[in-house]
Structure 1
Amino acid sequence: MTTHHSTPGPPLAPWDPPQGPGRRSRTALKAVLAVLLVLALTALGLYVAKAGPFARAGANGPDPAAAAQARGFLADWSQDRLDAAGARTTHPAEASRVLGSFTSGLEITRPRLTAGVPRAAEGGAVEVPFTARMPVKDLGTWTYTSRLTLRQAKDAWLVDWKLSLVHPRLSNVAKFRLEREDTSEPKARDRHGKTLTSAATPSLAPVLAQLADGGAGPRGAIRLVDRTSGDVLRTEARFGAKEVSEEPVRTTLDSDWQSAAEHALAAEPKHRNASLVALRSDTGEILAVANSPAGGFNRAVSGTYAPGSTFKIVTSSALLMKDAVRPDTIVDCPKQLVVGKEFHNVETSSFPDATFRKDFTESCNTAFISLRGTLAPTALGDVAREYYGIGQEWHIGIPSYDGSVPAPKDETEKAASMIGQARIQANPLIMASVTATATTGRFRMPHLVPDPKDTTKTTPLPARVSSDLRTLTRATVTEGTARVLADLPGEIGGKTGTAEVSDDAPNNGWMVARRGNVAIACVVEGGVTGSGSAGPILHELLSRVPGDGS
């Protein structure tokens, strides 16, 4: 390593700073600036530490442990852990009992409690406001605000138990009472002014309940009452319509058709779940809505089923408009066809060299699937929506499901869609409307009440297509799978359907029919075949009402 040595030079002369007033002035200025800088840094430090945007939580506010205890109490209460909630209070047993009686007595299903910002209170206490959202069973949500007070006891914070923390007006002299108002069946009349009741026609029970108050549902109130006398002090919350009209609800229903529909479903020998809708083809007015069993879910208008081969009416519309076939076009009907999986016909029937008319009347699955290449992937959904109104928003007067025809995800789904399977969903309301549209050539939105709101936009079917569909549905009755209706008077058209449900469940049976100005659709869950299950129901219905719906 090399060491460098410096050579000493001559001594430096001492430096004398300038003397006089200039020197003293600059020194004083530096001192003042230094003091100001210290003061500024001190103020900034205080701002940052106590009041600034980076202030430490709790540095100058309530103890975070108090807020945590409040949130824990609200969480236990909302999750029905009432003993745990009580243990966080100054009076555990009483708190647990009151919280339980409050929620159960008012039929509150699951409280939703949200804590607000804690703040310091007198005597070292901490207050935490909260918002309570209380869902009252079958009625609605009661929302109010209250507050918790927490006090330190030994090494822990506890909720200071008071009745008023549950609700500000709950006290030793006043409590809450839930009152459910009479939701008895509304007065309703059919299209001819006749009174409708669920006693006479049980299937109308869910329909009339939904028609009441425009579908507003059950009514009720939460009242604050005197604990001793029971007198109502005030109404805290009200649910449902405030006033109920005494005027009868006008409907498009027809008592004769409704009664016939009820009898037809009751005659189903195996008492399987079944639903039916009948409507006027020229207006969309619903004449009958029936379900078996009668009560509960209104499957006829809100159910979701694969429509099976009844959907071939829509498929045929797409094929005819595309000029892919004419009724006399030869479309072979083999026993089975493989498109990702094996598709076959009912009872593995086959019709070599069949015409499209024969394929339709015998409901040949393989023939329809073989034509899938003539249609674009979205064609069925486009035709269903534009010409039949399926998937648009219908306002029938009560809640309804208005159908879905999604684009297939692959070639196998496209094949299944051609025969009303895959993810296509409908119900008797939709398929009765499809039948009416095919018959008249124009979609009319189905409805249960006069003058409904109609936001649908559709295009009329080409006259030639509607004419072909009437011919095909008529031939299905005279020479095809709907022959069960052939002995009835009048020019009746129809289409059967068998819809797969799962590998281990029997198929649903479908049938749609038209006579005069009426279109009808029926589904029987587990009915196996349409002609064998839904067919006899429609035969019974049409036998009981010889009219054409005019």
Structure 2
Amino acid sequence: MVYVVCVALLASGALGGYRMLKGSADARRAEQLAQHVARAERQMHAFATAWANEDWTTAARHTDSPEAAASLLESVDRNLDPSALTITVGDGVAERADEDDGVVVVPFTVRMTVPRVGGFAYSSKARLVPAAEGPLVAFDPSVVHPELGAGQTLAVAKVQERGAILDRTGAELVASSLVGEVQDGRGVSGLQKRYDETLRGSAPPYAVAVTDRQSGKAVKPLLQSDVRPGRDVRTTIDPDVQRAAAAALDVAATPASLVAIKPSNGDILAVANQPGGGFNRALVGTYPPGSTFKVVTAAALLETGLQPSDALECPRFAWVDGYRFTNQDEFTLPAGSTFQDAFAHSCNTAFIEARDRLDEDTLAETAAAFGIGGEWDTGVGTYDGSVPVNVSDVDKAAAMIGQGRNLASPLVMASVAATVKSGRFVQPRLVPDAVDRPHQAPRDLDPEVLRALRSMMRAVVTEGSGDALRGLPGRPHAKTGTAEYGDEQPPRTHAWMIGYQQDDDLAWAVLVEDGSSGGTDAGAVAAEFLRQLATR
């Protein structure tokens, strides 16, 4: 027992001595590591001090690539021309704790003021590697800024230009009255104004950017995470259709507009105005639609059971409560003329004489099936039309022929033609990404009514007032209109024509202000538009 106890005591004493020796070795290694890290930190301080003092040669001597370091530091200084440059060095950390002479990583923060940019700050880190003369900064471009790569430098660059208004192909849109203007960097009209925040973004005009040293081209602006460059806005405009529309308006002698729509999905393919700047009458113009509204009136009458082949007289005058309505140039149609004849030749008196078939709210209700009077979410400001409930017999008579209190824009009337073509109202849209809640018509038109309207609109071209389109490709369907406005006697008029192509996914509307005849003045523009399209 005594022997065993002595052995145990001896063993215990030996273990204690081992621990003391091991602890002493660990302490020495820790001390050596701490001294190595401190040397690395001093070297980094020396490098940072020379850098901040713009002493590239001295700074470079503290690196393992003096020539490359001096060149890049001088390039950055020359490009940025900074003031109040400070570099704060942090505490170094050994990459491996079991090496007392290995690589040390030292963080640092750079702050400066840069002309045209202002305050610019960032954090980086340097790896200090062992060398015969002591730790050196392992130099590569990322030491100067963590985003830099080979062949790159920092420079002041203009941040991404203002976003552009694009057509459906991604090319910059050419349509001045639609695109609008920019003054002092801000949109003041058109789509430039509506989407100014998107187009401008929140980025400053200039920023420090990673830049290719050879070409001088900015590669990447160094922006704060919450800064957003300007973005493009893409529209549905088809450049070919837009060019055709703009060229067609050259035929008009007075202010005019043309809108084209894709009936299947409502895409607005062209918006053209003459003159091109300022007021966009194509989208927000408020006009009596005149006889183009007879498409809506005809739909209402067809729903009462009136057939295109039914007799409908076209007298010279129609008297309503002492008020005389007449046709343009007081024309008449021969005895035995039909509803389709009255529509094709745009006989006002025939429509007015049929007013008793409709209730006071019928026209308003039928117009709603064409989307008129709803709140359209198109991605651009529009006037969406108004057809009030009739308040008197004279009011109804005027409304039957698109006069009185009925108002529409060319976009609305193009949509009327598109509805006949597609068979249902599809709300037009110009900037699809901005459309949240497209307007839905309260009901669709009856298929039999639509078939009759299509036949009647084709007859306008083949035998009626739309003869300017006769013989053109695509089998155009149309409706002409001459709308009175103002208080002058005789009243002044605007000329209209709306229509669609049977052989193409296209509907359109033409308005010529102060035109004397829809068939002649608006018809000439529409015909030129379709001819231009045929050659695209």
- Normalising by structure 1, we get a TM-score of 0.59
Q: 2:190 aligns with which of 210, 217, 224?
A: 210
Letter in 2 for 1:318: A
Seq. identity, %: 42
Q: Are residue 188 (structure 1) and residue 165 (structure 2) matched? A: yes
Contact map agreement 1:203 1:262 (CA 8 A) in 2: no
Question: Where do 1:22-37 residues align within 5 Å?
Answer: none
Other structure's SS at 1:399 match: coil
Judged with a 3 Å threshold, the aligned counterparts in structure 2 of structure 1 residues 283 and 480 are, in CA distance, closer, same or farther, namely same
Question: Aligned-pair RMSD on alpha carbons?
Answer: 2.5
- 1:365 equivalent in alignment to 2:345: no
Q: Superposition pairs for residues 124-163 of structure 1, below 5 Å?
A: none
- The residue identity in structure 2 corresponding to 1:357 is Q
Taking the aligned partners of 1:380 and 1:393, their CA distance within structure 2 comes to 18
Query: Residues 370, 246 of structure 1: CA spacing in aligned structure 2 closer, same or farther, 3 A cutoff?
Result: same
From 476, 501, 513, give the equivalent of 2:485: 501
Helix, strand or coil at the partner of 2:432: coil
The reply to whether residue 258 of structure 1 matches residue 242 of structure 2 is yes
For residues 380 and 297 of structure 2, the distance between their equivalents in structure 1, rounded to whole angstroms, comes to 29
Partner of 1:293: 275
Would you say 1:541 and 2:518 are equivalent positions?
no
Q: Is the 8 A contact 2:346 2:465 kept in 1?
A: yes
Instruction: Say if 1:206 and 1:297, in contact at 8 Å, map to a contact too.
Output: no
- Contact 1:482 / 1:531 at 8 angstroms: preserved in 2? yes
2:439 is aligned with 1:456: yes
Contact kept? 2:251, 2:525, Cα under 8 Å: yes
Aligned-residue offset at 1:297: 1.3
Check conservation: 2:177, 2:190, Cα contact below 8 A.
no
Q: Compare 243-252 and 344-353 and name the one that shifted more.
A: 243-252
The structure-2 alpha-carbon separation of the partners of 1:243 and 1:529, relative to structure 1 and needing over 3 Å to count, comes to farther
Cα distance in 2 for partners of 1:318, 1:461 equals 10
Structure 1: unaligned runs, 5 residues or longer: 1-181, 222-241
1:337 aligned counterpart, secondary structure: strand
Q: 1:423 aligns to what?
A: 405
1:410 alignment partner in structure 2: 392
Matched, 1:465 2:443: no
The residue number in structure 1 matching 2:518 is 530
Per the alignment, residue 138 of structure 1 pairs with none
1:333–1:353 CA contact under 8 A, matched in 2: no
Query: How far apart, CA to CA, are the structure 1 residues paired with 2:162 and 2:411?
Result: 23
Q: Per-residue deviation at 1:409?
A: 2.1
Cα distance in 2 for partners of 1:350, 1:372 equals 18
**Structure 1 position 215, deviation (Å):** 3.9
- Show the counterpart of 1:134: none
Matched letter for residue 513 of structure 1:
G
Residue 487 of structure 1: how far off its partner (Å): 2.1
How many angstroms apart in 2 are the aligned matches of 1:315 and 1:326? 13
Unpaired runs of 5+ residues, structure 2, are 1-158, 182-186, 203-225
Which residue does the alignment assign to 1:333?
314
SS in 2 for 1:500: strand
The superposition leaves residues 138-193 of structure 1 with CA deviations (integer Å, 9 ceiling, x where unpaired) of xxxxxxxxxxxxxxxxxxxxxxxxxxxxxxxxxxxxxxxxxxxx9x9741221122
TM superposition shift of 1:216: 5.0
The change in CA–CA distance for 1:326 and 1:195 in structure 2 (over 3 A counts) is: same
Verify the 8 A CA contact 1:205 1:295 in the aligned structure 2.
no
Q: 1:547 to 1:475 in 2, by over 3 A?
A: farther
CA offsets 1:387-408 (integer angstroms, 9 cap, x no match): 1111111011111111100012
Q: Does the Cα contact within 8 Å between 2:378 and 2:432 map onto a contact in 1?
A: no
Shift of 1:273: 1.0
Q: Matched residues in 1 for 2:258 and 2:200: separation?
A: 30
| Aligned residue in 2 for 1:10 | none
The partner residue of 1:437 within 403, 406, 419 is 419
Aligned to 1:345: 327
State the partner residue of 2:92: none
Contact residue 300 and residue 363 of structure 2 kept, 8 A: yes
Aligned length: 339
Distance across 2 between alignment mates of 1:436 and 1:216: 31
1:384-437 CA-to-partner distances (Å, cap 9, x unmatched) read 11x111111101111111110001221111100000000000011000000000
Q: What TM-score results when the alignment is normalised by the length of structure 2? A: 0.60
Contact residue 257 and residue 545 of structure 1 kept, 8 A: yes
Q: Which residue identity is paired with 1:521?
A: A
| Residue 214 (structure 1) shift | 4.5
**1:65-87 CA deviation, whole Å, 9 max, x = no partner?**
xxxxxxxxxxxxxxxxxxxxxxx
**Secondary structure at the residue paired with 2:534?**
coil
Hey, what's the Cα distance between the residues in 2 that align with 1:258 and 1:277? 9
> Are the equivalent residues in 1 in contact too, given 2:248–2:529 (CA < 8 A)?
yes
